Amino acid sequence: MQEQFKTSLSGDYKSDPKDNFGLLEHEYDEEISDKTWQLLRDDVIRAIDNFRGSEFWKKAKTLPQEDCLALEGDLKGSDNIWKSISPDLTTWNNLPSAPAADSFSVDGIKVWVKIDFAYRKQDGSISLIDWKSGNSKEEPDPTQLNIYGYYASEVWDIPEEKINLTAYNVNQGEQYDRTFSEEGKQETEEKILNSVENMKEMLVNREENEAEEEDFPKEENYSFCRHCRYRQVCKPELVE
Ligand code: SF4
């Protein structure tokens, strides 16, 4: 965090955004009090502590490789996010042996997934976990997990009732469990197809995937725009 903060403050991201970290707060010259930074830092430390104290961290480290179905998507060798958490990857015996497919198809539509963690249990069921980091104490919207459940049923060929879905909020240390079902799969399929249809309805040319900018009017509520990350390009009058 400290390194990224320094990099952002230097402004290097303006000339080379691909390789340099940039914070919205620096881009928009926003005043952030020391107390706020401290609270954000505390949030991160608490999330890491919760994560490392959770059963999932323990599970991820001790699981036999053949039972590990996915860990942060497909790991593409050892050059991945886990390196920054656990530099010595030779201690990890459980990284999935083969990359997991990162998409599935619904009615010819490609749907991408990046599963945080999934593993097989002894009774043939699987657990599929999604890490969350928000501040809400509410149960997260199940759509994302249901889509992962759909993926597990289609790609890994697991019966729906053997797919256990868990959202684990590292910030709150809270865990929300549910079991997938045939009805859940049906609902998820409808949701995906409806969502795609809603987007396609906005196109002027569905075959060519073309839209007209004027079909997407700008938000009129300025108080909403005042916090939008795109305001510099969309409503520069708010920034000047
Ligand atoms: S500034 Fe953001 S919220 Fe407002 S119209 Fe533009 S994109 Fe939408």
The answer to whether residues 144 and 221 belong to one domain is no
How many other CB atoms sit within 10 Å of the CB of residue 149? Answer: 25
Q: Which residue type does 103 have?
A: S
Supply the DSSP string of 28-39, one letter for each residue. Answer: TT----HHHHHH
Q: pLDDT by residue (tens digit) across 118-149? A: 999 999 999 999 999 888 888 888 999 999 99
The answer to whether residues 165 and 214 belong to one domain is no
The pLDDT value recorded for residue 111 is 93
What's phi and psi for 181, nearest 5 deg?
Answer: -155, 170
The pLDDT value recorded for residue 78 is 42
pTM of the predicted protein model: 0.82
For ligand 1, which residues put their CB under 6 angstroms from it?
Answer: 218-219, 224-225, 228, 230-231, 234-235
The answer to whether residues 197 and 216 belong to one domain is no
Nearest ligand 1 atom to the CA of 238 is 1
Spans of the chain, pLDDT less than 70: 73-101
**Domain membership flag for residue 101:** yes
The pLDDT value recorded for residue 136 is 83
The pLDDT value recorded for residue 87 is 52
The pLDDT value recorded for residue 134 is 85
The pLDDT value recorded for residue 76 is 46
The answer to whether residues 74 and 104 belong to one domain is yes
The pLDDT value recorded for residue 89 is 52
Residues 6 or more apart whose CB falls under 8 angstroms from that of 132 comprise: 140, 167, 168, 169, 170, 171
Six-digit token string for 12: 């290097």
**Domain membership flag for residue 23:** no
- What is the Å distance from ligand 1's center to 229 Cα? 8
Which of 211, 215, 212, 218 shows the shortest CA–CA distance to 233? 218
The answer to whether residues 82 and 126 belong to one domain is yes
User: Ligand 1 pocket: which of 27, 214, 230 to mutate (most atoms <8 Å of CB)?
Assistant: 230
**Domain membership flag for residue 35:** no
The answer to whether residues 215 and 177 belong to one domain is no
- What is the Å distance from ligand 1's center to 154 Cα? 38
The answer to whether residues 220 and 138 belong to one domain is no
The answer to whether residues 70 and 181 belong to one domain is yes
The answer to whether residues 149 and 236 belong to one domain is no
Range(s) of the domain holding residue 236: 210-240
Strands (E), 75-229: 103-106, 109-112, 117-120, 126-132, 163-169, 174-179
